[in-house]
Structure 1
């Protein structure tokens, strides 16, 4: 059997050995054998797109199939017969990508145990960790992070795993990524920050985690901010959170609208923003924001070590 290779010459794929048909058969390159997008499970199809495409189904190996379907025994058999853990499709999709997208922890462990690259990237820049964020499998994500998966991306135009977790509202994944050092302020020009995406998609639990960590409250793409996004979608709970953490109500979108002008008339969101216009922050709140800003996000974890009364420490920590 010929080795799978990439026409872009980004690396050399591993040759696939012949495997008895009793274990698994290679997907045929025909219209009848290729799965169309309509035939794929809803979860997997929803994860696909310009940045999450899992490549051509026609050149997937039996190892890819076993990893995707969580068939641990078949996966171990294929590895024992000579299939390499880092075998790739034409789009540089590895079996580990497939296992992470489907959340099969046992297959992920088995692949890593035999040398699977936890930071392998497809031609679209998608990593196994990104796929864990898409699927929302915190157990899979923790295995990757414990085995050296990078929380950052080396491509400045691509969203990080944290962006993806915030977009989909997977708050446990967000918490894990932050605990392992993911940058809550990493911004992509056309998408903005993770906080902006969280507000754009209405995920209050993710917004709260990011703000508590010290994410910059006003970061967004050109002509946007988290508060503007939350107001536009009438998310009063997120608007209240953002205001408490110092969101600027005077920022305007590309059409020169403030948040109060974007909120649906007569709703709770508009009420909050109008009340803020007439009752600006208290001196106590302004002091809290200033102190947190001076301490900085990277040193926020040292707040409890300051010689301050517990009540003040809790106030500074929003606890």
Structure 2
């Protein structure tokens, strides 16, 4: 049971006692993130500090902290006020909680961290504060939720960029989700795919036998398919049903035409060399391309800029 200071206002354990309904989009985010207890409507032991953080009421939050509320007070499913502030994207509240000693790596019973919630809300400001204060970009348990996968799923490209700039592996795999690139293709977020590929993500690394190209073709997303082909996607790869991407494309559509045209027009020697050089450098050294003694035109070509 969380510790509540003496004289502090009592918070009912019943959800009906909360001060007004949450906006629909906030409630939906919470429902998606916090597992079975929240999805069934139970916010047991939710404190006024949680409420203030969730609603961005900075003065109330500071007042409650001054009255003795513990910064890391948790609900029954281990949600902290910092989780709430990050999920709602309240930068000032996140800063205040961190300054008061909030655990930036606190995890719920489902393994959700404040960093993950930043990727749900798309708050780069909150994310940067967490990362600057020691937030871990990966959890020790591989089955726990991944912040990078969540950002790719939601299409928050700035969060993807921020995570990768802090050293997150662009090919970080979660067995039941696949690679981040596969996730961005599955949810049709081309901007996220471009960032991942630019940072060296393996273009053919998806989920099992299913490649990112298979996922993009199933969605009939020609723009996404074009980007993947430009970065070396294998049009001859086969999924778990032994089907090639072109066999999955809707007949007569732009995606099918794109694949058929590509199959009769092999990649140029320049393109093959670019792909080979990038593969040899690897993701961790691609950032060194600008310092190599190469003509700027060649550097830009290798960087896809």
Same fold, TM-score > 0.5, yes or no: yes
Q: Partner residue of 2:288?
A: 302
Please tell me whether residue 199 in structure 1 is matched to residue 185 in structure 2: yes
Q: Distance in 2 between matches of 1:51 and 1:70?
A: 19
Deviations for 1:213-260, whole angstroms, at most 9, x for unmatched residues? 000111111231110000000110110000010111111122221111
Point out the structure with the larger helix share.
2
* Residues 50 and 124, structure 1, Cα contact 8 Å, conserved in 2: no
Deviations for 1:122-141, whole angstroms, at most 9, x for unmatched residues? 11100000000001111111
Structure 2 stretches of 5 or more lacking a match?
none
Structure 1 stretches of 5 or more lacking a match?
5-14
Q: How does 1:110-259 map to 2 (within 5 A)?
A: 110-259=96-245
TM-score (norm 2): 0.94
Q: Give the CA deviation at 1:315.
A: 0.8
Q: Partner residue of 1:280?
A: 266
Q: Distance in 1 between matches of 2:27 and 2:244?
A: 36
Q: 1:48 to 1:64 in 2, by over 3 A?
A: closer
Deviations for 1:146-197, whole angstroms, at most 9, x for unmatched residues? 1111111211112311100000000111111111111110011110011100
Q: Give the CA deviation at 1:143.
A: 1.3
Please tell me whether residue 33 in structure 1 is matched to residue 17 in structure 2: yes
Q: Distance in 1 between matches of 2:63 and 2:198?
A: 46
Q: Give the CA deviation at 1:92.
A: 1.0
Q: Distance in 2 between matches of 1:265 and 1:16?
A: 63
Please tell me whether residue 47 in structure 1 is matched to residue 33 in structure 2: no
Q: Distance in 2 between matches of 1:299 and 1:97?
A: 34
Q: How large is the RMSD of aligned CA atoms in angstroms?
A: 1.8
